[in-house]
Structure 1
């Protein structure tokens, strides 16, 4: 992203700060439900906003709403295969659910059941029942077919109904199932990640995003140079030595004997 100066830069950074203030708290809550970890949720939100800043002009062009892009990128970071904490294998067919007098324990039971879903199913259920997206909207966000998104929601609901029927109900096809599940998810996220929690400084997020964007090409160039040096050393038995400058003119060959 070309760095702006003057009023244009102020406008871009102000818009970025406003979107961060509006979206970051809710996005953190959503990712907490997705991962079961506040730390991983915070990290995924930071990485998503950092990645958004270098392309902010394109994301906000023509009145576009960057919230969906930010959510998709944050979910990808949170569910990346080298990051998630995989749930422990258990022989229990259901998750024990405390009584209504222990709301924190009921939240933990819901999150434990969510953790047993595959990443794609967990994400689809979250988008559908907690955020209210349609299967077509989910398909567009996760880059799948509408049929696949519908199947993931149905399978995720069925698994939750089997694991925590005392919480969500035993019939995933019941009309009130999705509304009940969405309310449980919302309250669990509110209790674990209150909206008033301080967020990361946006100036630091913007700087980190620019550094990561610049680091990619630089790292690739260094890798190419290192590989070239290693190959040359193997072929000659000596480190590569720069050739002397051409003295016969650019692009011309010296005559034999010269």
Structure 2
């Protein structure tokens, strides 16, 4: 490798953007170890072709897509579905004054997100955590823009239903 795609360039990119890539992977996988594995898989695969990745532009988008692919591959290989159960009763409509309450609310919402199907979770993470636009999400996930919108719409509908169900459980005698 020479020029814009050296091993040193990859290391420099990791120094600057590696933390954000790991946070993205964590939000996608909801597990620190799985997130680290997905990032490692993506970086190992990117290393031999780093020069071409940089030349193509936006290596961050390429690596985020690689993380999504690595996570999906590991999930498919495991052949097991995890359905986490979260106690989020009373979160809907709750007024949050204390920063600790805000953090607890965000944690509970991310627990609900963990139960979403992978495609929906990836789209939600890219939209609401990374602040990406629909076209950016579509490019990252290799979906059409309309698929991105429908995945986010379905995810939000699922989250609303689960929050309403949790609120109902609290108000039931």
Q: Same fold (TM over 0.5)?
A: yes
Map of 1:72-151 to 2, 5 A cutoff? 72-80=65-73, 81-83=76-78, 86-88=81-83, 95-96=88-89, 101-102=100-101, 105-151=104-150
Instruction: Between 96-105 and 29-38, report the one with greater CA deviation.
Output: 96-105
The answer to whether the 8 A contact 1:121-1:156 is kept is: yes
TM-score of the two chains, using structure 1 as the length reference: 0.53
Partner Cα distance (2:79, 2:108) in 1? 19
How far does the alpha carbon of each residue in 1:164-210 deviate from its partner, in whole angstroms, 9 at most, with x for none?
46xxxxxxxxxxxxxxxxxxxxxxxxxxxxxxxxxxxxxxxxxxxxx
Partner Cα distance (2:119, 2:22) in 1? 18
Higher helix proportion, which one? 2
How far does the alpha carbon of each residue in 1:134-175 deviate from its partner, in whole angstroms, 9 at most, with x for none?
21221222122111111111111222223246xxxxxxxxxx
Aligned equivalent of 2:38: 44
The answer to whether the 8 A contact 1:30-1:126 is kept is: yes
The answer to whether the 8 A contact 1:96-1:164 is kept is: yes
Aligned equivalent of 1:70: 63
The answer to whether the 8 A contact 2:6-2:50 is kept is: yes
Deviation at residue 130 of structure 1 after TM alignment: 1.3
How far does the alpha carbon of each residue in 1:39-91 deviate from its partner, in whole angstroms, 9 at most, with x for none?
000111111111111001111116x121101010011111321248633376x
Q: Which of structures 1 and 2 has the bigger CA Rg? A: 1
Deviation at residue 102 of structure 1 after TM alignment: 5.0
SS in structure 2 at match of 1:82: helix
Aligned equivalent of 1:252: none
The answer to whether the 8 A contact 2:120-2:155 is kept is: yes
The answer to whether the 8 A contact 2:4-2:55 is kept is: no
TM-score of the two chains, using structure 2 as the length reference: 0.76
Partner Cα distance (1:154, 1:147) in 2? 10
In structure 1, stretches of 5+ residues that fail to align are: 166-258
Please point out which of 11, 14, 18 is paired with 2:12. 18
Partner Cα distance (1:17, 1:24) in 2? 9
In structure 2, stretches of 5+ residues that fail to align are: 165-173
- RMSD between aligned alpha carbons? 2.8
* CA separation of 1:140 and 1:36: change in aligned 2, threshold 3 A: same
